[in-house]
Amino acid sequence: MTTGTARAARWLEDGQLKLRDTPMIFMYHGVADVDEDPNQLCVSPARFAEQMAWLARRGLRGVGIAELVDAMRAGRQRGLVGLTFDDGYANVLETALPALRQHGFGATAYIISDRLGGTNEWDEGPVWQLMTGGQVRELAAAGIEIGSHAATHMRLAGASPAQLTAEISESRTSLGALLGTGIRGFAFPYGSMDAASRQAVRDAGYEYACAVEASTAEIGLMALPRLYVGEQDDARRMTVKRLLYRGRIATRSRPGGQTPDNPPPGGSAGQAPRATS
């Protein structure tokens, strides 16, 4: 039986990660009361408060992913849950931040560097405001980690080398200039990635990247899997979700545990409504 620390040291050498060593990372987009949300991207403020209280009641602490990766390196990730917000909606600053602060939680917001102050025009559906550069700085000053969600929110699997440079490397440079700090993390738009885009993330100097779904072979620092959390996830469903996540880990950790005949448990509680991020 190896200790967590020994395992952490082993996976850091090759960037690979055993799923059982991967803490839960929640994937959010917006926190707002909205009339129409066909892509299920928003959680209401009331539901979000319930979900944060659910974590706190279990003695779990929400943290940003750079902090989570540091804890994983040190073998002390127990009790930590990663909290992430993709796209950089203005309501993350206005609504999610106060709820996070109430519990002393951290989080990471993944920002689309060429769309500061714009809207989610890549989505079909309702139009929502994205943070301006000033608002992103305000969020960073409040202790929320800022990561890159590419430059324009394009799918990166199959992208050309020039597109990978513009979306991955240049977005890091531009967000770093905005904040005056290094940008440690990246999140793949739509969870769309392949070996070339993961390599481009590594080459650009990021320490880690968040995916949505990742295969056993892909899981690692450049493809941290995340769990969709939505408006339907009340406290009861959060409990089921956590158990399913643990069950998935147990299944995948057994040799040959995950086969086409023996898929990981997941079902609707563990899955995003569609591959969106």
Interface ranges with Zn ion (CB under 5 A): 86-87, 189, 277
Q: Name which of 185 and 189 has its Cβ closer to Zn ion.
A: 189
Closest approach of Zn ion to the CB of residue 141, in Å? 23
Question: What DSSP designation does 131 have?
Answer: P
For 109, the enclosing helix (H) or strand (E) is: strand 108-111
CB of 252 to Zn ion, least distance (A): 26
Smallest distance from Zn ion to CB 140, Å: 19
* Contact call for residues 72 and 8 (beta carbons, < 8 A): yes
Nearer to Zn ion, 86 or 207 (CB): 86
Least CB distance from residue 239 to Zn ion, whole Å? 27
Residue 94 carries which side chain, given as an amino acid letter?
E
Judged by beta carbon, residue 87 or residue 233, the one nearer Zn ion is 87
Beta carbon nearer to Zn ion, 77 or 277: 277
Pick 80 or 116: Cβ nearer Zn ion: 116
Q: What's the min distance (Å) between Cβ of 139 and Zn ion?
A: 16
Burial 227-263 (b: 16+ CB within 10 A, else e): bbbbbebeeebbeebbebbeebbebbeeeeebeeeee
Where do we find the tokens 């993944």? 110
Nearer to Zn ion, 8 or 224 (CB): 224
3-state secondary structure of 40: coil
CB of 153 to Zn ion, least distance (A): 6
Q: Kindly tell me which of 8 and 65 has the beta carbon lying closer to Zn ion.
A: 65
Strand partners, 223: 220
**Residue 158 Cβ vs Zn ion, minimum distance, rounded to whole Å:** 17
Q: How far is the CB of 154 from Zn ion (least distance, A)?
A: 10
* Joined tokens for residue 135: 């608002």
Radius of gyration (C-alpha) of the chain in whole angstroms: 18
183, two tokens? 């940008």
Nearest to 219 by CA among 29, 114, 72, 42: 72
Contact 187, 113 (CB under 8 A): no
Measure the CA–CA gap between 269 and 82, rounded to whole angstroms: 18
Nearer to Zn ion, 67 or 87 (CB): 87
Distances (CA, A) of 131 to 113, 136, 237, 259: 10, 6, 30, 43
**Residue whose C-beta lies closest to Zn ion:** 86
